[in-house]
């Protein structure tokens, strides 16, 4: 009985490692597709998927795909169309087959490989301001600080800038692109 409970727990860890290393689920959780409880839903999904395997005999890959697809759609409002669903389903079927046959060593190795793969995952962060933009801002700031303009100079510069913008806008009149679309730009 203890061996059975330990092997069942190992299969559950396999399901957890498989789902946690799945980019679709990672993105859904990281970006809040499942709401504020996305991480809890992902953990709940582990239990539901492993129970699905124990409750159903002789599962086919398409059945597992449909089940996981339905779960991810209902819980994370996400449709999986990147081709990863067959791979995830196949991996889970192999793990369940190993569990049923008592091949715990290969199952443990597969789980460890997936856990290690997940720990190497890179985080996506928002892009920062590029170096060129920051250099331009610094240059503009230095120009402003170097010569504080008088009211008369400011008014003249504003009129000159307005004329340059108008000339650029005239040059950027609606143009027909090669694909037949007309690009209309806003005049300032």
Residue 135 lies in a domain: no
- pTM given for the model: 0.61
| pLDDT grade for 143, boundaries at 50, 70 and 90 | very low
Residue 148 lies in a domain: no
Residue 61 lies in a domain: yes
pLDDT digits (tens, 9 = 90+) for 152-183: 554 555 555 555 555 555 554 555 566 667 66
Looking at residue 78, its pLDDT comes to 87
Distance between CA 45 and CA 38 in Å, rounded?
Answer: 10
Q: Tell whether 97 and 177 lie within a shared domain.
A: no
Q: Tell whether 110 and 183 lie within a shared domain.
A: no
Tokens of 164: 């340059």
Q: Tell whether 75 and 166 lie within a shared domain.
A: no
Looking at residue 18, its pLDDT comes to 92
Residue where one domain finishes, among candidates 119, 148, 172: 119
**Whether the predicted pLDDT of 142 surpasses 50:** no
**Whether the predicted pLDDT of 114 surpasses 70:** yes
DSSP 124-183: P-PPPPPHHHHHHHHHHHHHHHHSPPPHHHHHHHHHHHHHHHHHHHHHT--EE-TTSPEE
Torsion of CA 179, 182, 186, 187, to 10 degrees: 120
- Choice between 42 and 138, residue whose per-residue pLDDT is larger: 42
Phi, psi dihedral angles at 183 (to 5 degrees)? -95, 125
Q: Tell whether 109 and 42 lie within a shared domain.
A: yes
Number of domains making up the chain = 2
pLDDT digits (tens, 9 = 90+) for 39-70: 999 999 999 999 999 999 889 999 999 999 99
3-state SS, 80-136, equals CCCCHHHHHHHHHHHHHHHHHHCCHHHHHHHHHHHHHHHHCCCCCCCCCCCHHHHHH
Distance between CA 63 and CA 61 in Å, rounded?
Answer: 5
Taking residues 11-29, what's their average pLDDT? 91
Looking at residue 34, its pLDDT comes to 87
Residue numbers of the domain that contains 170 = 159-188
Q: Tell whether 178 and 108 lie within a shared domain.
A: no
């Amino acid at each position: 009985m203890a061996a059975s409970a330990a092997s069942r727990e190992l299969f559950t860890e396999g399901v957890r490692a498989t789902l946690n290393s799945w980019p679709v689920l990672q993105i859904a959780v990281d970006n809040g597709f499942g709401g504020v409880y996305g991480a809890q839903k992902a953990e709940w999904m582990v239990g539901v998927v492993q129970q699905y395997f124990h409750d159903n005999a002789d599962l086919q890959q398409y059945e597992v795909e449909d089940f996981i697809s339905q779960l991810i759609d209902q819980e994370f409002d996400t449709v999986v169309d990147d081709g990863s669903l067959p791979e995830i389903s196949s991996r889970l079927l192999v793990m369940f087959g190993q569990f049923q046959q008592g091949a715990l060593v290969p199952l443990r190795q597969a789980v460890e490989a997936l856990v290690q793969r997940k720990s190497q995952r890179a985080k996506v962060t928002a892009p920062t301001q590029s170096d060129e933009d920051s250099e331009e801002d610094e240059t503009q700031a230095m120009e402003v600080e170097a010569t504080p303009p008088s009211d008369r100079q400011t008014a003249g510069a504003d009129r000159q800038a307005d004329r340059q913008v108008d000339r650029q806008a005239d040059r950027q009149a609606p143009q027909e692109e090669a694909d037949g679309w007309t690009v209309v730009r806003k005049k300032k």
